[in-house]
Amino acid sequence: MKATVNEDCIGCGLCESTAPEVFAIGDDGLAHAIEEEVPEAAEDAAQEACDGCPVTAIELD
Ligand code: SF4
């Protein structure tokens, strides 16, 4: 599974708190995937973050 955050992110922080192994808020105040390839153990959390993102900025494939 690969994770990316697109330009719609508003920096709410939800994904970082839901899946801290996958997403982090950067110096720009917006979320970024820490590593594009999601660790297998974090896939459920990544999916939960994706589902919960208020602006649908997280893309998983
Ligand atoms: S949950 Fe969505 S809007 Fe909020 S910080 Fe993460 S990617 Fe950005």
Q: Which of 27, 53, 56 to mutate to test the pocket of ligand 1 (most atoms within 8 A of CB)?
A: 53
User: Which structural domain, as residue segments, surrounds residue 17?
Assistant: 3-60
* Ligand 1 site residues, Cβ closer than 6 angstroms: 5, 9-15, 23, 31, 53-55, 57-58
Q: How many domains does the chain have?
A: 1
What is the rounded distance in angstroms from the CA atom of residue 2 to the CA atom of residue 9?
A: 17
Buried b (16+ CB within 10 A) or exposed e, 8-42: ebeebebbbebbeebbebeeeeebbbbeeebeeeb
Rounded to two decimals, the pTM is: 0.94
Which CATH number is 8's domain given? 3.30.70.20
| Nearest protein CA to atom 6 of ligand 1, as residue | 15
Amino acid symbol at 60:
L
Q: Ligand 1 centroid vs 5 CA: distance in angstroms?
A: 8
Rounded average pLDDT over 51-55: 98
Q: Please give the sequence-ordered ranges of beta strands (E in DSSP) within 1-61, or none if there are none.
A: 3-5, 23-25, 31-33, 58-60
Predicted pLDDT of residue 36:
86
Structure tokens, 34: 């820490």
List, for residues 19-50, the tens digit of each pLDDT value: 999 999 999 999 999 988 999 999 999 999 99
